[in-house]
Structure 1
Amino acid sequence: MAALPEGTPCWADAMFADVEGAKAFYGEVLGWTFGEASSEFGNYTQAYSDGKAVAAVVPPMPGEEGAEVRSAWCLYLASPDAAATAERIRANGGELVMGPLPVGDFGTMVLARDPGGVAFGVWQAGTHEGFEKQGAPGAYTWAEVLTREPGKADAFFPAVFPYGTRKMEGDEVDYKIFEAGGQPVLGRMGMGPEDLPPGAPSYVNVFFAVDDCDAAVAKVTERGGKVHLGPMDSPFGRFAAVGDPQGAAFGVIDLGTTTGDVPVMTDA
């Protein structure tokens, strides 16, 4: 597979105290199946849709089993040189949480936060090149940085990755899109005090495609998850923001059910 443009989302995973519970939940909601846990790499377990790798789940690291684990999806952005990306993260006010860390011959990872506290990952591919399926039911399709400090995100991400930036016209929402290789790859939504619960961190919301948004939301609630927003229609698909029973937030979107005109975007 050809190398992805730098900064393109390429993988997603999440840590769960109850991995078997997470597997049951996402298996029901997104139709995922799961491979064997890799004991050499902390029982990291890949998820599959139609036999293609789409994400992974992992238990807490040794020493964290008894601690309260905040489950959250982590989006990884492609890099040809994880060490160089890590230096730019540090130089632009970000925090390096882990890495650069070689993961066997699979690749090299970095875990980081932007100056506003948004957690994300960096992945320099080796034999593991990332998503084997995208933009179809059961697979990753889009992600948005939801941040209380949009100015910090706007300065940070284009300094770390070679992003172009476009903004949505109008004053209704503070929304921008980061582009890599001339293609939109990541959204950025400014969040007000009423948009995120007190104490909840700014974060990257990862969207997975589904055949039917309303049916997926029903499965979320039936399996003990929560609905944070929606379902609602948009020009990009009918979507909802939800959370799993362990607190990890994500989105579901039916890309085939669209309503309205695509917003006008201008150079930021």
Structure 2
Amino acid sequence: MAGIAYFEIQVDDPERALAFYGDVFGWRFVKQDGLPVAYWRIETDGMHGGLLQRPCPAPPLGQGTNAYVCSVGVDDFDATAARIESLGGQVALAKFAVPGLCWQGYFIDPEGNTFGLFQPDSDAG
């Protein structure tokens, strides 16, 4: 059974957010090059995550949940992606390599919620 293994925070001002989360929680950030967006890996004492420049405007306050994106770790990205689409999910951002770490992609469920999918793979790239 797959579980939530990774979270991401989309932000308007990465430097402000890095300072905020670092000061509040003591999180450490590592810039990750080679991705289709500006991205920092988040290292915590628990679940790890990522912080990225928001790719589009956030919904205004009072317009439903505005939250972190969670990613589910799977053994076979392609098979899981096919299953998601066959059950009515949509691709939000196609599969891409996080060099040396994993294959990552994003989907929208039939209710309009965004979630990530990743397959660990040290040979990704």
Aligned counterpart in structure 1 of residue 88 of structure 2, from 224, 227, 230? 224
Alignment partners' CA distance in 2, 1:213 and 1:251: 11
- Structure 1 pair 164/233, CA: closer, same or farther in 2 (3 Å)? closer
Secondary structure at the aligned position of 1:241 is classed as strand
1:243 aligns with 108
Corresponding residue pairs, total = 118
Q: Is the 8 A contact 1:147 1:203 kept in 2?
A: no
Alignment partners' CA distance in 1, 2:122 and 2:94: 14
TM-score w.r.t. structure 1 length?
0.38
Alignment partners' CA distance in 2, 1:210 and 1:245: 20
Aligned counterpart in structure 2 of residue 187 of structure 1, from 35, 46, 50? 50
Q: Is the 8 A contact 2:104 2:118 kept in 1?
A: yes
1:161 aligns with 25
2:14 aligns with 150
Alignment partners' CA distance in 1, 2:118 and 2:79: 11
CA shift digits 1:116-163 (9 cap, x unpaired): xxxxxxxxxxxxxxxxxxxxxx01222221222323311221122122
Alignment partners' CA distance in 2, 1:255 and 1:140: 13
Q: Does residue 204 of structure 1 match 2:68? A: yes
Where do 5+ consecutive residues of structure 2 fail to align? 61-65
1:252 aligns with 117
Where do 5+ consecutive residues of structure 1 fail to align? 1-48, 50-137, 261-268
Identity %: 26
CA shift digits 1:189-240 (9 cap, x unpaired): 113xxx23x5547642211112221111111111111111112233322221
Higher gyration radius (CA): 1
Alignment partners' CA distance in 2, 1:166 and 1:177: 5
Q: Greater relative contact order (Cα 8 A, min sep 6): structure 1 or 2?
A: 2
TM-score w.r.t. structure 2 length?
0.74
The CA RMSD measured in Å over matched residues stands at 2.7
Structure 1 runs (4+) greater than 6 angstroms displaced: none
- Structure 1 pair 258/156, CA: closer, same or farther in 2 (3 Å)? same
Task: Give 1:112-131 correspondences, 5 Å limit.
Answer: none
